[in-house]
Structure 1
Amino acid sequence: MADLEIKHAESGSGGVFYTIIDGHRAEMTYSTAGTTVIIIDHTGVPEALGGQGVGQKLVEAGIAHARERGIKIMPLCPFAKAQFDKHPDWKDVLR
């Protein structure tokens, strides 16, 4: 999954990082809390893409986004929270 293409779309109150593989869409959504925090509220990976690291790549895209913008992440989504627990090197963006 190293060559995974992740796209990003923003709306007024949040956004989504997503990828489509073989017709299956995996996504991680977030909402904004002011100008300095994003809240990851959902990570969804279809069963057909499970176990391939797609969810982790989506969270990593969110982390890169937060680092670029100098903002923090609050992982309310259980999957994203578990990923943060597994990656202490991400604590620079953890709120």
Structure 2
Amino acid sequence: MNIDQNDETFDLFYDAEKAGFLEYNKNKEGVLEITHTEVAEEFGRKGLGMELVKVAVEDAKKNNLKIHSLCPYAKKMIEKTPEFKDLLV
């Protein structure tokens, strides 16, 4: 598994094939806004969506950003992970 960061996405590759992505933007108020998380159906049930969320949270921590998730999946994963939920606004 490999995750590449681009301007507004984290792209996840599994066995050299693009398996999913997380879309985000960083606003001027110091907030990383997660807008969408998606993993291709054939790569489901491997925990890859959570891996994308973890990378986004790590990026927010590294850059001293808070997180606002418009994506229901990412919001749920962040809320149920004690060390992540303090970053939510």
Same fold (TM over 0.5): yes
Structure 2 partner of 1:65: 59
What RMSD in Å do the two structures reach over aligned CA positions? Answer: 1.3
Maintained 8 Å contact 2:33/2:70: yes
1:27 aligns with 2:24: no
| Structure 1, unaligned runs of 5 or more | none
Maintained 8 Å contact 1:25/1:46: yes
Match of 1:39 among 27, 30, 33: 33
Structure 2 partner of 1:82: 76
TM-score with structure 1 length normalisation?
Answer: 0.84
Distance (Å, rounded) in 1 between the aligned partners of 2:2 and 2:13: 8
One-letter amino acid matched to 1:19: L
Maintained 8 Å contact 1:43/1:77: yes
Distance (Å, rounded) in 1 between the aligned partners of 2:29 and 2:19: 28
| Structure 2, unaligned runs of 5 or more | none
Maintained 8 Å contact 2:12/2:21: yes
Larger deviation, residues 29-38 vs 66-75: 29-38
